[in-house]
Chains A and B, each alone.
Chain A
Amino acid sequence: MRREVLARLLIILLLSAAIGIPAVAWGKRSQEIVVHARMAETGGWAPENLTVPVGEPLHLRLTSDDVMHGFAVGQSDQPPVDVIPGEMTDVTLVFDQPGKYTFYCTRWCSVNHWRMRGTIEVTGPTTTTETVKPPLYVTLGLDIDTQHQADVIPAQKPSALRGALLQQSLPSVYLNREYYLTHTPLELWKALRGEQTLQKFSDQDIWDLAAWVWQLNTTPQALSEGQQLFEANCAACHGEKGSGNGVFADQLAQPDTENQTDMQMGEKTTRPVDFTDPVAMLSASPAHLQGKIIRGGMGTGMPYWGPIFTEEQTWALVAYLWTFQFEMEVKP
Chain B
Amino acid sequence: MKSLQEIPWLDQAAANENQGLLHPRRIVPWRLNLYRIPWLRPLIESRWPQFLVRSLTLAGFVFTIATGLSGSIVGSHNFAIIFVWIAWWSALKLVFIPLGGRSWCSICPIPLPGDWLQQGGILSKGRGLGLNLHWPKRLKGSWLQSSAFLLIGLFSALTLTAPRVTGWVFVALFGLAIGLSLVFEKRAFCSYICPIGGFSGIYAQTAPVELRVIDKEICAKHGDKSCYHACPWGLYPVALRDSAACGLCMECLRACPKDNLALNLRPFGTDIGKARTANRLDSVRSLDASFLALVMLGSALAFTAVFVGPWGWLKSAAFAIGSLRWVGYAAAFLGLNLILLPGLFSLAVWSDRQSSKVRLPLKQEIANQSQALLPLGLFAWIAFTVSFALPKLGYVPGVLNDPLGWGWKLLGAGYTFWSPDVSGFSSVLQIILLLIGLFWSANVAWRLADSDYRRAGPIMAFCLAFSLGMLWLLIG
State A8–B121 Cα separation when bound (angstroms): 9
B151 lies within 8 A of chain A by Cβ: no
- Contacting pair A7 B58 (CB below 8 A): no
- Contacting pair A4 B62 (CB below 8 A): no
State A21–B60 Cα separation when bound (angstroms): 12
B74 lies within 8 A of chain A by Cβ: yes
State A17–B56 Cα separation when bound (angstroms): 11
Contacts of B67 in A (CB 8 A): 22
- Contacting pair B122 A7 (CB below 8 A): yes
B462 lies within 8 A of chain A by Cβ: no
Contact residues, B60-98 vs A (CB, 8 A): 60, 62-63, 66-67, 70-74, 76-78
The residue on B at minimum CB distance from A26 is B70
Nearest chain A CB to B367's CB is how many angstroms away?
42
State A34–B407 Cα separation when bound (angstroms): 10
The residue on B at minimum CB distance from A17 is B59
A3 lies within 8 A of chain B by Cβ: yes
Nearest chain A CB to B189's CB is how many angstroms away?
19
State A149–B59 Cα separation when bound (angstroms): 72
With A4-B122, A11-B55: A18-B73 Cβ-Cβ less than 8 Å = no
State A18–B71 Cα separation when bound (angstroms): 13
- Contacting pair B405 A86 (CB below 8 A): yes
The residue on B at minimum CB distance from A14 is B59
Nearest chain B CB to A86's CB is how many angstroms away?
3
- Contacting pair A29 B406 (CB below 8 A): yes
A87 lies within 8 A of chain B by Cβ: yes
Nearest chain B CB to A25's CB is how many angstroms away?
6
- Contacting pair B74 A11 (CB below 8 A): no
- Contacting pair B406 A25 (CB below 8 A): yes
The residue on B at minimum CB distance from A88 is B407
Contacts of A14 in B (CB 8 A): 55-56, 58-59
B51 lies within 8 A of chain A by Cβ: yes
Contacts of B74 in A (CB 8 A): 63-65, 85-86
Kindly count the residue-residue contacts between A and B in the assembled complex, taking CB atoms under 8 Å apart. Answer: 71
A155 lies within 8 A of chain B by Cβ: no
With A8-B122, A17-B59: A22-B51 Cβ-Cβ less than 8 Å = no
Nearest chain A CB to B45's CB is how many angstroms away?
14
B278 lies within 8 A of chain A by Cβ: no
A10 lies within 8 A of chain B by Cβ: yes
With A4-B123, A87-B407: A18-B72 Cβ-Cβ less than 8 Å = no
State A10–B94 Cα separation when bound (angstroms): 31
The residue on A at minimum CB distance from B75 is A86
Nearest chain A CB to B325's CB is how many angstroms away?
12
What is the interface size of chain A, counting residues whose CB is below 8 A from a CB of the partner? 28
Contact residues, A64-86 vs B (CB, 8 A): 64-65, 85-86
- Contacting pair A18 B123 (CB below 8 A): no
State A21–B67 Cα separation when bound (angstroms): 10
- Contacting pair B124 A19 (CB below 8 A): no
Nearest chain A CB to B50's CB is how many angstroms away?
12
With A29-B406, A87-B407: A22-B124 Cβ-Cβ less than 8 Å = no
Contacts of A64 in B (CB 8 A): 74
Nearest chain A CB to B395's CB is how many angstroms away?
10
B272 lies within 8 A of chain A by Cβ: no
The residue on A at minimum CB distance from B113 is A11
Nearest chain B CB to A9's CB is how many angstroms away?
10
- Contacting pair A22 B63 (CB below 8 A): yes
Nearest chain B CB to A131's CB is how many angstroms away?
43
Contacts of B72 in A (CB 8 A): 63, 86
- Contacting pair A15 B62 (CB below 8 A): yes
The residue on A at minimum CB distance from B62 is A18
Contacts of B51 in A (CB 8 A): 7
B193 lies within 8 A of chain A by Cβ: no
- Contacting pair A3 B63 (CB below 8 A): no
Contacts of A132 in B (CB 8 A): none
Chain B, residues 232-272, CB within 8 Å of chain A (1/0): the string is 00000000000000000000000000000000000000000
Nearest chain A CB to B27's CB is how many angstroms away?
36
B404 lies within 8 A of chain A by Cβ: yes
Chain B, residues 386-422, CB within 8 Å of chain A (1/0): the string is 0000000000000000001111100000000000000
State A85–B70 Cα separation when bound (angstroms): 16
Interface centre among A3, A7, A65 (most CB of B within 10 A): A7
State A85–B76 Cα separation when bound (angstroms): 9
Contacts of B405 in A (CB 8 A): 63, 86
Nearest chain A CB to B126's CB is how many angstroms away?
8
Contact of A22 among B56, B58, B66, B121 (CB under 8 A): B66
- The 3 A-B residue pairs whose C-beta atoms are closest, nearest first, are A86-B77, A88-B407, A86-B74
| 5 cross-chain CB contacts under 8 A | A14-B58, A18-B59, A21-B66, A64-B74, A86-B78
User: B residues engaging A (CB < 8 A)?
Assistant: 51-52, 55-56, 58-60, 62-63, 66-67, 70-74, 76-78, 121-124, 404-408
User: A residues engaging B (CB < 8 A)?
Assistant: 1, 3-4, 7-8, 10-11, 14-15, 17-19, 21-23, 25-26, 29, 34, 61, 63-65, 85-88, 90
